[in-house]
Amino acid sequence: MPKIKTHKATAKRYFITKKGTVKKRRAGQDHFNAKETGNMGRNKRRDVSVHSTETGNIQSFIPYN
């Protein structure tokens, strides 16, 4: 049976932790950050876990992680 191809766009946006949870970077980090509060800026540095309904889909796009 042939290998499954990795969907490269998904692999660049999401990553799978050792426990199997799917995480992604928070959106809106590039510019216009001066007007936001320090609390919001700190929260943007953290990774966000993906909702459980989307986890199975994303894991099928990234089969070998």
Assess if residue 27 is contained within a domain: yes
Residue 15 confidence (pLDDT): 95
Q: Tokens 């932790």 label which residue? A: 17
CATH number of the domain residue 21 falls in: 4.10.410.60
Residue 65 confidence (pLDDT): 80
Write out pLDDT tens, residues 31-50: 988 999 999 999 999 999 99
CA quadruple 48, 49, 55, 59: dihedral sign = positive
Domain boundaries, position 15: 8-61
pLDDT over 70 for what percent of the chain?
100
14, pLDDT greater than 90:
yes
Residue 25 confidence (pLDDT): 94
1, pLDDT greater than 90:
no
**Most distant CA pair in the chain: distance in Å?**
54
